[in-house]
Amino acid sequence: MKITYEDTKKNIIELIPETLDDLWHLSHIIKKGDLVSAVTTRRIQDKSGERIRSDRGIKKTFRLTVRVESVKFHKYTGRLRVTGVIEKGPEDIVPLGSYHTLEVKLNKKICIKKEEWPKWAIDRLKDAINASKELNAIILLIEENSAELGLLRQYGIEYYGPITGNISGKRIKDKTRDKKIIEFYEKIISSLKKFKDVGTIIIAGPGFAKDDFYAYLKDKYPKISKISIVESAGSGGRTGIQEVLRKGTVEKVLEKHRVARETREVNKILEKITKSPSLVVYGKDHVIEAANLGAIKKLLVLDTLLHDEKIESLVKEVEKMRGEVIVISSEHESGKQLKSIGGLAAHLRFKVK
């Protein structure tokens, strides 16, 4: 994310999203009622009002401003679509007051104007800017005959795989089995190379497969081995990847990584609910009540709730009382755990009834 212009008096920020993670951040920062401006394209209409056929029509590109009604991020296609009522644009092409959907694109400038920029939104922009300077990490969960990759993104884990081998179950050393093992390893390495600029690879899994693969890397691919570490896991597949996240391994390697931090924060809340329930609250009503008493020291809020005006007021109240606010992504496992207890939870400064 790159901020190209900022006017704090008019509450305007102009920026350029550079990654899919940036689009994901913007999908939670842009809310109903905001003014969003971007370059867009529309097909002109003929005088009768009928849409011109695509093979004869003319598309025009121009800048348009809409008052936001809805925001949708399609994580599988990487599209961020902002729909709203047109407030500013060339009136000979688009009638003011009609609806239009802006598609926010990578490396294209957009402008966001809010009535007021909340602190959490500014912090989120800063996180996106800082994260754009950091490298991604991959968790490789490997077993004797299969492997799965977990690409760590800011909004959660993007799974890739499974990658399967064709290795016999017998651990008898013979040339055929050795050849199949090498073919399996090379398939994994080929998959890893698809992801550019990866700073860390965590190789994990049950048994000895992880150690054998790491030894192969050290011998054949020393550059990859230098950015790799080995970690144990009791399970295979996606369950094993989640186990590595819960252990805090990723956080040790990437201290500032959002997913690792959020996982640990949710785990702390869940542990406190069990061991010290009087110093934690969860659920909308209980959290709002604690905020009104100035009792919240740290608030965890699910990102999907931030478009709710009551939740936004709650966040402002906590920040006003110098409480810490941590936005938790709904895209990873810990976010789903927070959702199961109402999407809101907080550590308290003191006990409340």
How far is residue 216's CA from residue 230's CA, in Å, rounded to a whole number? 13
In a domain, 52, yes or no: yes
Confidence of residue 94 (pLDDT cuts 50, 70, 90): confident
Give me the CATH number covering residue 196.
Answer: 3.30.420.60
How far is residue 143's CA from residue 192's CA, in Å, rounded to a whole number? 16
Q: What token pair was written down for 269?
A: 């809340």
Residues 181 and 206 in one domain: yes
Last residue of a domain, one of 88, 118, 148: 118
> Is the separation of the CB atoms in 161 and 148 below 8 Å?
yes
Confidence of residue 139 (pLDDT cuts 50, 70, 90): very high
**What per-residue confidence (pLDDT) applies to 93?**
78
> Is the separation of the CB atoms in 346 and 281 below 8 Å?
yes
Q: Of all helices (H) and strands (E), which one includes residue 177?
A: helix 175-192
**What per-residue confidence (pLDDT) applies to 4?**
93
In a domain, 16, yes or no: yes
How far is residue 1's CA from residue 310's CA, in Å, rounded to a whole number? 28
What is the pLDDT averaged over residues 102-125?
90
How far is residue 40's CA from residue 269's CA, in Å, rounded to a whole number? 44
Kindly report the number of other CB atoms within 10 A of residue 318's CB atom.
25
C-alpha 341 chain-centroid distance: 21
Last residue of a domain, one of 253, 284, 299: 253
What is the pLDDT averaged over residues 266-272?
94
- Sign of the Cα torsion 187, 188, 189, 192 reads positive
Residue 214: pLDDT over 70:
yes
Predicted confidence (pLDDT) per residue in 160-193, tens digit: 889 998 876 655 556 788 889 999 999 999 999 9
In a domain, 131, yes or no: no
In a domain, 188, yes or no: yes
Report which listed range, 244-248, 261-265, 268-272, 312-316, is most confident. Answer: 268-272
In a domain, 123, yes or no: no
In a domain, 130, yes or no: no
Q: What separation in angstroms does the CA of 272 have from each of 67, 156, 341?
A: 42, 24, 13
Residues 80 and 153 in one domain: no
Confidence of residue 123 (pLDDT cuts 50, 70, 90): confident
What is the pLDDT averaged over residues 342-350?
95
Cis peptide before 162 (omega within 30 of 0): yes
Burial classification of residue 11, based on how many CB atoms lie within 10 Å of its CB (0-12 exposed, 13-18 middle, 19 or more buried): middle
What is the pLDDT averaged over residues 152-159?
75
**What per-residue confidence (pLDDT) applies to 52?**
46
In a domain, 37, yes or no: yes
Residues 273 and 243 in one domain: no
Partners of 153 in the β-ladder: 156
Residue 87: pLDDT over 90:
yes
What Rg value do the Cα atoms of the chain yield, rounded? 25
Q: What separation in angstroms does the CA of 242 have from each of 21, 33, 34, 201, 263?
A: 20, 37, 37, 15, 10
Whether the predicted model's global pTM rises above the 0.85 cut: no
Give me the CATH number covering residue 276.
Answer: 3.30.1330.30
Last residue of a domain, one of 202, 234, 253: 253
| Number of folded domains that form the chain | 3
Residue 352: pLDDT over 60:
yes
Give DSSP secondary structure letters for 49-99.
SPBPPTTT--EEEEEEEEEEEEEEEETTTTEEEEEEEEEES-TTTS-TTSE
What is the pLDDT averaged over residues 28-39?
93
Lowest-confidence segment of 8-12, 167-171, 305-309 by average pLDDT = 167-171
Give the side-chain half-sphere CA count within 13 A for 57: 15
Residues 158 and 87 in one domain: no
Residue 244 lies in domain: 137-253
Confidence of residue 287 (pLDDT cuts 50, 70, 90): very high
Query: Rounded mean pLDDT of the chain?
Result: 86
**What per-residue confidence (pLDDT) applies to 306?**
85
Residues 248 and 266 in one domain: no
Which residues, at least 6 apart from 286, have a Cβ–Cβ distance to it below 8 Å?
Answer: none
Residue 251: pLDDT over 80:
no
